[in-house]
Amino acid sequence: MGMREITPDIAWFIGITIGDGSLSGRMVRLWNNEEFLINKWIEVLNSRFDIPREKIKIRRLKSNRNGFKRNKETIESTVNSTIFKKRIKKLFENVLVASNVNISGPILQGIFDAEGSVNGRCEVVIWQKKDRQGDLITEFMKSRLKEIGIKFVVQNND
């Protein structure tokens, strides 16, 4: 799938997977506590990547890794496929350097759905870990938000 074939819903999928997911081993995963976002992610997997629904595993997690209770349960969705993981990884590498507004807008939306919030001063708050991927995502978001004139702050989520 080349850059010309990336639709807005695939761009959103990439954004939310970058923000709240992972590519590890043979898996593509997403953790989120919003049922609507999980269902949208699954719908894109099914309709755009032809991943059958029965191949998508869903688990409901009641607590985080430290054992503290969360306000809402976290839903983990997983696709176990080395080929699909490699395909998504290649898309990630290409898409974060995209300057096409048709692609970068939905990517921003996906990352915001995963990691963003708005503070009392109406600034977008970007919550990211201070690591290589977090820095890459932060730089992508900062440059795109500056382009469209949206104020933002970055919070390290260590």
Radius of gyration of the chain from its Cα atoms, rounded to whole angstroms: 15
pLDDT at 71: 47
pLDDT at 1: 52
CATH number at residue 21: 3.10.28.10
- Structurally, the chain folds into a number of domains equal to 1
Q: What's the whole-model pTM score?
A: 0.79
pLDDT at 44: 93
Domain encompassing residue 94: 3-156
pLDDT at 101: 64
> How far, in Å, are 28, 39, 100, 104, 152 from residue 139 at the CA level?
23, 28, 16, 13, 12
Give the phi and the psi of residue 51 in degrees, each rounded to 5. -90, 115
Task: Walk along the chain (158 residues) in steps of 10 and give the mean pLDDT of each run.
Answer: 72 88 83 88 92 87 56 72 84 71 81 82 80 79 85 76
Rounded to an integer, what distance in angstroms lies between the CA atom of residue 152 and that of residue 57?
A: 35
pLDDT at 43: 93
